[in-house]
Amino acid sequence: MSALAMRIGGAAMMRSLAGPMLVIMILAMMILPLPPLLLDLFFTFNIAFAVMVLLTAMYTVKPLEFAIFPTVLLVTTLLRLSLNVASTRVVLIEGHTGAGAAGKVIESFGHFVVGDNYTVGIVVFIIMVVINFVVITKGAGRIAEVGARFTLDAMPGKQMAIDADLNAGLIGEDDARRRRLEVSQEADFFGSMDGASKFVRGDAIAGIMILVINLIGGLLVGMIQHGMPLAAAAKAYTLLAIGDGLVAQIPALIISTAAGLVVSRVGSEQNMSQQLATQLFKRPEAFAITGAIIGIMGLIPGMPHFAFLLLAAGLGTVAYYMRKKQKRDAQAPAVAMPDVAPKESADVSWQDVTPVDILGLEVGYRLVPLVDRGQDGELLKRIKAIRKKFAQDIGFLPPSIHIRDNLELRPAAYRILLKGVEIAHHEAHAGMFLAINPGRVVSEVPGIATTDPAFGLPAVWVEADSRNAAQAAGYTVVDASTVIATHLSQILGTHAAELLGRQELQQLLDHLSKEFPKLTEDLVPKLLPLATLQKVLQNLLEENVHIRDMRTIVDAVATAAARTQSPEQLTAEARIALGRAIAQQMFPGNADMQVMVLDPVLERTLLQAAGMESAVIEPQLAEQLVTEARTASDKQEQFGLPACLLVPAQLRVLLSRFLRRAIPQLKVMSHAEIPDTRAIKVVSIVGNQS
C-alpha cells in the first residue's frame, strides 16, 4: 500500500513539475545549441501542437472549456521564438555547408515554397505574415477586447440573476456558487485573451525582423567569413531564412486562427461543426439561389464555363435533395398515424367525474416546449425545485402542480389556477429573455415592454442576441422558464394557507410522528380534532408565519387545548411560543426591534370596541386608522425597516385582519410575542395626530 501511495505521489509531483520544466526547456533552447535532428523534431512538434490546439478550439462549445488557452498562446509563442533563435544560430554558423545545414524541415519548407525563385518565397512569406498580423490577430484581439468590456459590464446583472434564482428556490447554494465562479472566470478569460493576443501580434512582427536579420546576417557571414560569392551566399542563406520563417509562421497562423475561433464563438450547446450543419446548411433556398447566380455568371462569354456551370449544378443538386428531405420529414408524422376506427362510447360512470386540481398551470401552445418532458422542458425541473424550496421554507409539502396546454389562451400566455380558479396570469415568450429594470438601468434596450409578473417591476422581452447588451445596460436578464417559475413561487408563498388541506396536514403529522410519536398521538384526536389544528396552522400561514417548528407549535397547542378549543386563542398561544422565530424573521440578528405603536387615546378606543360583542370599528375611525398606519408603514420602508405594529394582545387579531387587506406589508405583533431578550424601540406612533 505504501509503494502504491509513493507511486501516486510521484505521479502527482511529475504533473506539477511538467509546466515549469517545459518553460525552462523552451528558454534553454535560446541559449544551448541544438543539432539539426533536434530542430527537426521540435519544428514538427510545434506544427502538430498547433493543429491540436486548432482542433480543440473547433470542438469547444463554450470558451471556458478551453480556459487555459491564453496560457497556451503565450507558451506556443515562446516556443516559436525559441526555435527561431536556435535555428538562426545554426543557419548563421552552418549555412555555408548547404541547404540541409539547419535540418530537413527548414530545407523542405524552403524548397517547397521557394523553388528556384527567391522573390516568390519572400513575397509568400510576407503575405502570410500580413494575413496573420493584420487580419486574424487584429480581429481576434478586437473581439477579445470588446468581449472583455461587455463581460465586465454584464457581471452585476448576471450576479443579480443568480441571486434571484437562488432566492426563488430555482437553484441551490452549490449551483449558485458554481455559476458565480463561471461569471468571474468568463470575465478573467476574455481579459486574458485581450492581453494574450498581443503576444501573437508581436510574434508576427518578430518573424519579419528575424527573416531580414537572417538574410543580411547570412550574406555577411557567407561572403566575409567563408568567402562565398554573392550569388552562392544569397542562394544558400535565402533558402534557409525563408524556410526558417515559414516553418515558424505556419504554426503561428494556425494558433491565431484558433484564437479567433475561441473568442468569436456565440454561446450555444453545439460545437462549430454542429452549428455549421444546423444553421448554414438548413436553407435549400440559399443553395438554389446561389446556384442560379453562379450558373448565370457561367453563361457570360469569356467566363470559365466548366467551373461555373459545374459548381451551379452541384449547388442545385444539393438544394433539390435538401428540399426533398424537408418535405419527407414534414409528411412523415401524417403518414405514420394509422386510421383508428371510432369506438362506441361507454356508459357514463364515476370515472367521468374528474376532481378539481389543487394547483394547476395552463400554458399556450408556444410555451409547450418548456413543459414537455420529451423535449427536456426546463420549467419541469424548476417546478420541482420550487416545491422543494417551499417545503424547506414554509414547513409542509405543497400539492403537485398539474400542467396542461390550453388552446383558448394566447400562444405565449399562461395562467395559474388554485382549486380550478384563476389567481394569476401573464405572458412569457419562449426563446426570448425578460430584461427586468431594477432601477439602475443606464440605457434602454428595444423589445416588448411589459412588467415582471412576480414583483411588478418594469421589464422588456428581448431577443437572445440582445441578452448581453441588456445585462451590460444594467438589466437583470432571465429566461422564460425562470419568469414563470418565479411567478409560481411567489403565488405559492402568498396562498400557503389555502394549500394546507387536511391531506397535507395528515401527511405532515405522519412525518412528525416518526420522530415524536407520543407528541402527535396525544394531540390528535385526543385533545383536538384535526380540523381545529388545521385552522390554527392556516391562521399562522395567513400572517406569513412559517410552520417549520411543528414541535413548538404542537407543544403550545396541546398545553392550551385543556383550557380552550377556539382556533383564534390557540393561534395566539402558538404565536407566543413562536415569538422568538417571528421576531427573528422580521428583525434579523439581536438589534433593537424598531416598531410602531398606537397612540394611547386610539388604543383605549380600540380596546373598548374590541370588548364589545360585535367588535366593529366605526367607519370614520377605521378610515383614520388605515390612513395613518399606511403613512407610518411607508415611512418605515423608506428607512429600510420592516413595517411592524406592536399592540396589546386583545387587539392583535382584530387589527391584523382589518389592516392586512389595506396594507399587506404591515405585520401586527402583540406585546406577549416579544422575547424577553429583545429590546424595543418605538419609531412611530399611529394616531398621534388625532
Say which range, 260-264, 272-276, 469-473, has the weakest mean pLDDT. 272-276
pLDDT of residue 19: 65
For the segment 211-235, the average pLDDT, to the nearest whole number, is 78
Say which range, 145-159, 337-351, 505-519, has the weakest mean pLDDT. 337-351
For the segment 527-540, the average pLDDT, to the nearest whole number, is 92
Model pLDDT for residues 429-464, shown as the tens digit of each residue: 988 999 999 888 888 899 999 999 988 899 999 998
Model pLDDT for residues 629-649, shown as the tens digit of each residue: 999 999 888 888 899 999 999
Please tell me whether the peptide bond between 35 and the residue prior to it is cis, using omega within 30 degrees of 0.
no
For the segment 46-68, the average pLDDT, to the nearest whole number, is 80
Give yes or no for a contact between 91 and 214, defined as CB atoms under 8 angstroms apart. Answer: yes
How far from each other are the two terminal CA atoms of the chain, in whole angstroms?
85
Q: What is the DSSP letter of 337?
A: S
Model pLDDT for residues 362-404, shown as the tens digit of each residue: 999 899 889 887 777 788 888 888 999 999 999 999 998 999 9
For the segment 182-203, the average pLDDT, to the nearest whole number, is 73
Higher pLDDT, 122 or 504: 504
The model's confidence at residue 276, banded by pLDDT at 50, 70 and 90, is low
Instruction: Say how far residue 478 (Cα) sits from the centre of its chain.
Output: 9
Cell for 659? 389592516
For the entire predicted model, the pTM comes to 0.55
Contacts of 442 (CB under 8 A, 6+ apart): 473, 474
The model's confidence at residue 168, banded by pLDDT at 50, 70 and 90, is low
Give yes or no for a contact between 427 and 469, defined as CB atoms under 8 angstroms apart. Answer: no
**DSSP three-state, residue 407:** coil
pLDDT of residue 343: 52
The model's confidence at residue 186, banded by pLDDT at 50, 70 and 90, is confident
613 pLDDT more than 70: no
513 pLDDT more than 70: yes
| % pLDDT > 90, the chain | 23
63 pLDDT more than 80: no
559 pLDDT more than 60: yes
pLDDT of residue 311: 84
For the segment 510-531, the average pLDDT, to the nearest whole number, is 84
Contacts of 349 (CB under 8 A, 6+ apart): none
pLDDT of residue 492: 92
CA pair distance 7, 4, nearest whole angstrom: 5
159 pLDDT more than 90: no
CA pair distance 232, 219, nearest whole angstrom: 9
Angle between helices 480-494 and 378-394 (to 10 degrees): 30
| % pLDDT > 70, the chain | 83
The model's confidence at residue 337, banded by pLDDT at 50, 70 and 90, is very low
Give yes or no for a contact between 542 and 571, defined as CB atoms under 8 angstroms apart. Answer: no
336 pLDDT more than 60: no
Strands 448-451 and 458-462, how do they pair?
antiparallel
1 pLDDT more than 50: no
The model's confidence at residue 332, banded by pLDDT at 50, 70 and 90, is low
The model's confidence at residue 7, banded by pLDDT at 50, 70 and 90, is low
Q: 431: how many CB neighbours lie within 10 A of its CB?
A: 11
Give yes or no for a contact between 414 and 422, defined as CB atoms under 8 angstroms apart. Answer: no
84 pLDDT more than 60: yes
46 pLDDT more than 50: yes
Instruction: Say how far residue 327 (Cα) sits from the centre of its chain.
Output: 37
Q: What is the DSSP letter of 681?
A: E
485 pLDDT more than 70: yes
For the segment 185-196, the average pLDDT, to the nearest whole number, is 72
- Report which of 500, 485, 486 is spatially closest to residue 455, judged by C-alpha positions: 486
pLDDT of residue 14: 62
CA neighbours within 13 Å on the CB side: how many for 332?
7
Instruction: Give me the chain's average pLDDT, please.
Output: 81
Give yes or no for a contact between 435 and 462, defined as CB atoms under 8 angstroms apart. Answer: yes
- Report which of 15, 13, 17, 43 is spatially closest to residue 29, judged by C-alpha positions: 43
Model pLDDT for residues 284-329, shown as the tens digit of each residue: 788 788 888 888 887 888 777 788 788 888 888 888 888 887 777 6
Which residues on adjacent β-strands are paired with residue 668?
Answer: 645
